[in-house]
C-alpha cells in the first residue's frame, strides 16, 4: 500500500527535525568554547581550511583572535597553549589518540607506531624502536650524515655554481629532499637511495607525497571517510607493494630490505633496522616502521632545512653573525655534532628556524578522557577531540614577545637561564612531547647542526626571486618546491 503525500511530507519533516536537533545538541555541548561563526555546527569550515594549503596559518590566526583554546568543528577544538599540549601528551595522561590517526596510515592494512591508536601497542613499538632512533646501536650514524652532506656540497660545487659568465640556478627544495632521503635510507638500511648522485627523485617520492599528504589531511579531518577509504573490499584499489611508482614502490622497497634480514642467509647490520630487530621488532612490524622512517625522517628535516636557510640568507645581519662565529671558531671539517652544540649563535639560529616554521603541522588530536577535563577554566566534555596549532604556539606573542613573527635568533641569547630554558622547553614541542615525542629528534638535531655549517662555509646563496622565494602548500607536512637560488663559491672558505 503506497504512502500518501502527507505521510511522506511528515517523514521528511521528522528527519529534518531530527537532524537539526542532533546538530543543535552537538553544538550545545561546546557552545562555551569560542571560535569562528558556525564552525561548531558543521565541519565545512574545518574541511575547507584543511585542504586549502594554509591551515597552519589559519589556525594560528584563529587562536590569536579567539584565544588559546578554540572551537573549529562540531567536536573539534584546537589549542596554542603549551601547558594543555603537555597535559594531553604526558606519559601518564588519560588522553588518547583520536580518530584523526586512522587517516594517517601509510599502509591500508597496518598501523605504524605513528598511526597506532592502541596505547599499549603504541608504547610497545616505541620501546622496540627507541634505541635505534637514538643511534646507540649505530656507530656510523654521524659519519653517514657527514658523508651525505659532503655529497650535497660536492654536487652543488660541480653542477650548480654560477659565475659572472654562467647562471646555474639550483632548486634547494629538491636538493634538501634528496639529502634527507639519502641520509635516512643510509642510517636506516645501510644503503642510501642514491638521490644525490642521480640528482633526481629516483623513487618518485616527491610526487607520491604530493598525492598522499593532502589525502591524509582529508581523511584525518573526516574520519568517517577514512573508514570507507580503508574498507577491506576497496583495498585492492589502494597502493600495493608490487607497484613500480609511488607509495606502493616504497612499500616494496621496505619489504625487500626487511626480508634480507631474515632467513638462513640473513644480513646482519649495525643500522637502525638492525637495532629494531635486535630489540624485538617482528618482520611485519619492521616493514611498517621502515616505511614510516622514510616519510617521517625525510620530510620534516627537509622542511626545517629549507625554512632555516631561507631565513638565514634573507637576513644579512643574521648571516653575518653566523659566518663570524663559524670563521672565528676552530672547527673540524666536517664539523662534529659536539662542536656544533657549543656554538651559541648557530644553536640560536637552529632553534629560531624551528620556532618560526615548525615542520610538522598535522592535527594530531587527542580525545578528552571519561569525565571530561577543565582546561584554562573551561570544562571540556569527554570525547572531544583537541588538536594543536603549531604556528599558533610558536608565534604566540605572550610566549615570544611582540616580535614573535620575526626571525630573530638573538631571543635565544637573552634573559636569565630560567627564561631561556622555558623557551627551549616550548620550542621542543615541534617534536611532540611525552609518550608522543618524535623518536627521530636526535637524528634531526645532528643533521641541522651540520648542514648549515657545511653549506655556508663553502657557498653564498642568493634568492633568484625575492618576491616569490618558493612554492609552499601545507597538508599536515609541507609540500615545498621551486626554492631557486644562485650559488657561488665562498672565498675565502673556512
Q: What is the pLDDT of residues 297-324, one digit of tens each?
A: 899 999 999 999 999 999 999 999 999 9
pLDDT value at residue 1:
43
Question: For the chain, what percent of residues have pLDDT higher than 70?
Answer: 94
- The DSSP line for 10-50 is HHHHHHHHHHHHHHHHHHHHTTTS--STTTTT-SHHHHHHH
Show me where the domains of the chain are located.
1-31, 41-489
Model pLDDT for residues 444-454, shown as the tens digit of each residue:
999 999 999 99
Section 461-489 average pLDDT: 96
CA quadruple 78, 82, 83, 89: dihedral sign: positive
Question: Between residues 205 and 461, which one has the greater pLDDT?
Answer: 461
Instruction: Quote the CA–CA distance of 109 and 79 in Å, as a whole number.
Output: 32
Section 336-356 average pLDDT: 98
Section 39-61 average pLDDT: 92
Cell of 201: 627523485
Cell of 294: 622514510
Class of domain 41-489: mainly alpha
Instruction: Quote the CA–CA distance of 182 and 213 in Å, as a whole number.
Output: 21
pLDDT value at residue 11:
63
Average predicted confidence (pLDDT) for the chain:
91
Edge to edge, what strands does the sheet with 484-489 contain?
170-171, 484-489, 459-463
438 labelled binding-site residue:
yes
Tell how many helices (H) and how many strands (E) occur in the chain.
20, 12
pLDDT value at residue 119:
94
pLDDT value at residue 255:
85
Cell of 181: 632521503
CB distance 427 to 457 below 8 Å: no
Instruction: Quote the CA–CA distance of 314 and 243 in Å, as a whole number.
Output: 42
pLDDT value at residue 207:
79
pLDDT value at residue 137:
83
Section 426-439 average pLDDT: 96
Model pLDDT for residues 135-167, shown as the tens digit of each residue:
888 888 999 999 999 999 999 999 999 999 999
State which of 214-223, 225-234, 434-443 shows the largest mean pLDDT.
434-443
Q: How many CB atoms sit inside 10 A of residue 94's CB?
A: 15
| pLDDT band, very low/low/confident/very high, at 202 (cuts 50, 70, 90) | confident
Section 105-120 average pLDDT: 90
Model pLDDT for residues 355-364, shown as the tens digit of each residue:
999 999 999 9
Of the listed ranges 77-86, 249-258, 379-388, the one predicted with least confidence = 249-258
Question: Between residues 317 and 231, which one has the greater pLDDT?
Answer: 317
Amino acid at each position: 500500500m503506497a504512502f500518501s503525500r502527507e505521510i511522506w511530507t511528515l517523514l521528511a519533516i521528522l528527519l529534518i527535525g531530527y537532524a537539526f536537533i542532533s546538530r543543535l545538541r552537538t553544538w550545545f555541548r561546546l557552545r562555551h568554547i569560542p571560535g569562528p561563526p558556525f564552525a561548531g555546527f558543521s565541519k565545512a569550515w574545518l574541511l575547507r581550511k584543511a585542504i586549502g594549503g594554509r591551515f597552519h596559518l589559519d589556525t594560528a590566526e584563529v587562536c590569536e583572535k579567539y584565544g588559546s583554546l578554540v572551537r573549529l568543528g562540531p567536536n573539534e577544538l584546537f589549542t596554542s597553549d603549551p601547558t594543555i599540549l603537555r597535559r594531553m601528551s604526558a606519559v601518564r595522561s588519560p588522553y588518547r589518540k583520536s580518530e584523526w590517526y586512522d587517516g594517517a596510515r601509510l599502509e591500508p592494512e597496518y598501523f605504524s607506531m605513528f598511526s597506532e591508536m592502541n596505547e599499549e601497542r603504541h608504547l610497545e613499538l616505541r620501546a622496540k624502536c627507541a634505541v635505534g632512533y637514538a643511534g646507540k646501536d649505530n656507530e656510523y650514524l654521524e659519519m653517514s650524515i657527514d658523508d651525505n652532506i659532503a655529497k650535497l656540497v660536492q654536487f652543488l660545487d660541480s653542477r650548480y655554481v654560477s659565475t659572472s659568465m654562467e647562471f646555474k640556478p639550483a632548486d634547494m627544495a629538491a636538493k634538501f629532499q634528496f639529502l634527507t632521503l639519502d641520509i635516512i635510507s643510509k642510517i636506516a638500511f645501510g644503503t642510501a637511495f642514491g638521490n644525490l648522485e642521480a640528482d633526481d627523485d629516483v623513487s618518485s617520492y616527491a610526487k607520491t607525497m604530493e598525492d598522499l599528504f593532502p589525502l591524509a589531511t582529508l581523511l584525518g579531518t573526516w574520519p568517517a571517510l577514512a573508514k570507507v577509504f580503508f574498507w577491506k573490499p576497496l583495498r585492492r584499489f589502494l597502493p600495493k607493494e608490487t607497484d613500480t611508482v609511488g607509495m606502493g614502490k616504497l612499500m616494496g622497497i621496505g619489504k625487500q630490505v626487511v626480508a634480507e634480514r631474515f632467513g638462513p642467509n640473513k644480513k646482519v647490520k649495525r643500522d637502525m633496522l638492525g637495532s629494531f630487530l635486535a630489540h624485538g621488532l617482528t618482520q611485519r612490524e619492521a616493514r611498517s616502521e621502515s616505511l614510516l622512517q622514510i616519510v617521517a625522517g625525510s620530510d620534516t628535516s627537509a622542511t626545517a632545512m629549507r625554512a632555516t636557510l631561507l631565513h638565514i640568507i634573507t637576513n644579512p645581519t643574521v648571516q653575518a653573525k653566523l659566518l663570524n662565529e663559524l670563521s672565528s671558531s676552530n672547527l673540524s671539517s666536517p664539523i662534529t655534532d659536539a662542536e656544533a652544540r657549543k656554538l651559541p649563535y648557530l644553536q640560536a639560529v637552529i632553534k629560531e628556524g624551528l620556532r618560526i616554521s615548525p615542520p610538522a603541522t598535522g592535527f594530531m588530536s587527542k580525545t578528552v578522557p571519561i569525565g571530561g577535563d577543565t582546561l584554562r577554566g573551561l570544562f571540556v566534555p569527554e570525547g572531544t577531540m583537541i588538536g594543536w596549532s603549531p604556528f599558533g604556539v610558536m608565534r604566540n606573542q605572550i610566549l615570544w614577545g611582540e616580535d614573535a613573527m620575526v626571525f630573530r635568533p638573538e631571543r635565544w641569547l637573552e634573559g636569565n637561564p630560567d627564561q631561556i630554558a622555558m623557551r627551549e622547553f616550548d620550542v621542543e614541542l615541534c617534536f611532540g612531547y611525552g609518550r608522543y615525542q618524535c623518536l627521530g629528534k636526535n637524528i634531526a638535531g645532528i643533521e641541522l647542526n651540520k648542514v648549515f655549517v657545511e653549506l655556508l662555509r663553502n657557498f653564498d646563496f642568493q634568492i633568484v626571486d625575492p618576491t616569490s622565494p618558493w612554492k609552499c602548500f601545507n597538508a599536515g607536512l609541507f609540500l615545498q618546491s621551486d626554492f631557486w637560488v644562485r650559488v657561488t663559491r665562498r672565498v675565502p672558505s673556512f
